[in-house]
Structures are given as C-alpha cells and as structure tokens.
C-alpha cells in the first residue's frame, strides 16, 4: 500500500494498491485507489528508467481532476543465494559433525563424470570442494568421452552396493551415444540425491506421495523463497523452461506448495502475457536477458536460474555471466530478484550436500 497527500485535499490520504500495469507507461487496468470522501479514482502508474510515477485521474474523465504525483526510485530486494547457501553449508557441516560424533559415520557422495565438457568438469570440481568443506566424503570417477554405457553402469552398480556411499550423482549431459534413461534408472532409489530417478520424479508429481529426494536446483529455488518469507500458497507462478533438470521439477514443486502454476516454453504463443500474470517467476531457459521488464508484474518475485556467458571485451575473461532475466529492467519492477551470479548457482550445491546428509541419516536411522 502506498499513500500520497493530495494538494488541495489537506486531510485526504489516498491509498493505492499496486496491481498490474503496463511497463511502457500505458494505463494498467487493475490499479486500485481508495479514497474515503470522494468517488473512486483510478491511478495511472508509469515507469520510466529507474523511476515509478503515480498520477491520479478520475474514472469518468480522461483529464486529471487532481494533479498529484508520487515518484519513487524502485529497486527490488536482492535475494542473496550466496549468503543463504553459506548458511545451509554451515547447517549441514554442524549436522555431519554431530553424526560423526554420535555414530562414527560420515556421509559419502559419489560423482561420475563422463567426457571433457569444461563446464561439467567445473561443476564436479566445485561439488567435490563443497563436500570437503562440510565433512562429506567424496568419491569421483572420471571416464573418457568414448566410454561404453556399460562402463558407467558398472560404476553405478559398485556405488549402489557400497555402504560408505549415500548419494550417487551422474553429471549431465552425458555423451550422445549413451542412453540417459538407462543410466538414471540404474541409480539406487535410496541414493538418488539428484532426484532424477523416474520413481522420485513420479512421486514428486503425485498427490499423497513423497519423493525420497527433490532435484537440487528446483529445491534451491524454493528454499530461497522460503528463507525470504515469500508466500507460495495460492500465488500464480510461472516457470519458464521445461527441462527435466530444472523447469519440470520446479513446476511440480511449486504446485506441491499450492501455487497455481503455468509453464512457458519455446512453443508458447504469448510468453510475455503469460509471464506478466505471475507473482513468482522461475526462469530456466539459458537465453541471456530474454525476460524483459515489461514481462514482469510489479511486485513479482523473480528466481533466475540462467547462467549465460555473453561477450564482454571489458572483462579480463572476455565474457560476463548474465541470467535469463534482464536484471537492470527487472529490478525496477520486481519486489525481489536473484542476481546472476550469486543467486541460484550456489544453492544447487548446497542442496546436493543437504540431500546427501538426508540420505546418510535415513540409511543409518539417525535423527
């Protein structure tokens, strides 16, 4: 609720609710204004660069009956995934230590990497480092690009039977000659800390069933919403992207939390219009700056999963990382937004550590 004093109406306070508006400055149709002593007024809400301007007009006439303007600098709250992820790592480390002291068992995570994709190798290195930092044992297998699928299955089977391993992760994508489905099916349901086994995904989708694990990136997105006190129940959520790793499970997870969920994908006819309905947006498409300011309803909360390199001659690396959402525009419209980098990225690994701890506790019946 915003309040403004009107010139000539010294005692009157207008209360305005900011509901959807058109980012290009044209009139939004659901902005509501309540004033106690006169006919209802409509509010025109325009946004130019970093400024939000409110001006008042009567419903009956196109000419303003009063002139009052409220201009505010609008800037969304930054959802700091880096800091939340650090808190979660500290919580996991404390629990790992308590478990070791109590029953002499440390959680163990096995990671299988096939091939030489640079970004996959970086993710796996970061996962290993994060395990070390919280006292989780890590086991790594690195196989050449041209390995046979059978070779991967053999390692999975060994880790399935190893009681010191509580979580198994096969880094995706796999080389194209491998059948991803066969490989994900082979991971023991009880050690599927990625939550990608079809039975875990199926249970995520079903009412009255619970998966043993929820995929790490979507779980991290929802954890950010929880830790920032964003209400999900009854809200409209739009997930942009329908990948098996992020978009699809994110939509299922939001639905489990009682949001009304739409999925926007490459064949959606009017993605801007659908997205503009959302109170919560999770974007995971891998398209730099695709979601513009005028796709966003004022006050929406934005979780940007995209990590996209774009050329930047001024950067020493020659590129910079940007999200799927145009941050400069979005932060003037949204109420809260994750930055890239430093938003969802660190949460994925924090959730992997958390899932591995959950698995070890469950296997050893440790509360």
> Footprint of ligand GUN on this chain (CB under 6 A)?
169-172, 194, 216-217, 245, 348
Rounded least distance, CB 241 to ligand GUN, Å: 13
Query: In the annotation, is 194 catalytic?
Result: yes
Rounded-to-integer distance, Cα 181 and Cα 330, Å: 37
Tokens, residue 69 = 């303007």
Nearer to ligand GUN, 76 or 183 (CB): 183
- Starting at the edge strand that comes first in sequence, how are the strands of the sheet with 301-304 ordered? 77-78, 336-337, 301-304, 280-283, 236-240, 260-264
| Nearer CB in complex with ligand GUN: 180/272 | 180
For the CB of residue 163, give the shortest distance to ligand GUN in the complex, in Å: 22
In the complex, minimum distance from the CB of residue 169 to ligand GUN, in angstroms, rounded to a whole number: 5
Q: How many Å apart are CA 360 and CA 164, to the nearest integer?
A: 9
Closer by beta carbon to ligand GUN, 14 or else 350: 350
* Nearest distance, CB of residue 119 and ligand GUN, angstroms: 8
Quick check: is 15 catalytic?
A: no
Query: Given the complex with ligand GUN, which of 169 and 281 has the nearer CB atom?
Result: 169
What is the spatial distance between Cα 281 and Cα 334, in angstroms, rounded to a whole number?
10
Give how far Cα 150 sits from Cα of 155, 163, 179, 183, 304, Å: 9, 22, 10, 9, 37
Q: Which helix (H) or strand (E) holds 39?
A: none
108 close to 137: Cβ distance less than 8 angstroms:
yes
Give least dist CB 217 to ligand GUN, A.
Answer: 5
| Catalytic-role residue among 192, 194, 279, 304 | 194
- 287 assigned to active site: no
Catalytic member of 127, 219, 235, 332: 127
Contact 259, 278 (CB under 8 A): no
CA–CA distance, 278 with 300 (Å, rounded to integer): 7
Q: Which of 171, 219, 297, 324 is catalytic?
A: 171
Complex with ligand GUN: residue 170 or 331, whichever CB lies closer:
170
DSSP string, 301-367: EEEE---EEEE-TTSTTSEEEE-SB-HHHHTTT-SEE--SSSSSHHHHHHHHHHHHHHHHHHHTT--
Which positions are annotated as active-site residues? 127, 171, 194
């Amino acid at each position: 609720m915003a309040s403004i004093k009107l010139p000539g109406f010294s005692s009157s306070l207008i209360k305005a609710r900011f509901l959807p508006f058109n980012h290009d400055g044209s009139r939004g149709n659901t902005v509501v204004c309540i004033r106690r002593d006169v006919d209802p007024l409509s509010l025109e809400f325009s946004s130019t660069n970093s400024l939000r301007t409110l001006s008042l007009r009567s419903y009956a006439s196109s000419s303003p009956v009063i002139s009052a303007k409220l201009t505010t600098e609008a800037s969304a709250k930054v959802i700091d995934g880096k800091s939340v992820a650090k808190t979660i790592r500290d919580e996991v480390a404390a629990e790992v230590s308590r478990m070791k002291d109590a029953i002499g068992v440390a959680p163990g995570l096995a990671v299988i990497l096939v091939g030489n994709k640079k970004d996959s190798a970086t993710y796996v290195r970061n996962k290993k480092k994060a395990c070390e930092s919280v006292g989780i044992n890590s086991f790594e297998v690195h196989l050449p690009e041209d390995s046979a699928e059978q070779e991967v299955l053999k390692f999975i089977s060994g880790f399935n039977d190893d009681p010191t391993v509580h979580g198994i992760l096969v880094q995706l994508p796999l080389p194209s000659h491998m059948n991803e489905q066969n490989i994900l099916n082979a991971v023991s349901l009880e050690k599927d800390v990625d939550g990608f086994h079809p039975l875990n995904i199926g249970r995520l989708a079903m009412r009255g069933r619970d998966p043993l694990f929820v995929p790490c990136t979507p779980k991290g997105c929802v954890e950010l919403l929880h830790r920032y006190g964003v209400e999900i129940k009854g809200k409209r959520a739009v997930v942009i992207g329908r990948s098996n790793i992020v978009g699809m499970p994110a939509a299922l997870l939001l639905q489990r939390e009682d949001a009304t969920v739409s999925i926007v994908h490459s064949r959606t006819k009017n993605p801007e219009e659908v997205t503009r309905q959302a109170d919560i947006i999770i974007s995971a498409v891998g398209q730099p700056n695709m979601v513009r300011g005028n796709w966003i309803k004022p006050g929406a909360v934005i979780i940007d999963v995209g990590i996209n390199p774009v050329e930047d001659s001024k950067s020493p690396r020659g590129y910079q990382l940007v999200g799927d959402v145009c941050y400069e525009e979005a932060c003037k419209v949204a109420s809260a937004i994750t930055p890239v980098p430093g938003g969802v990225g660190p949460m994925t690994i924090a959730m992997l550590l958390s899932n591995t701890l959950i698995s070890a506790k469950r296997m050893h019946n440790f509360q």
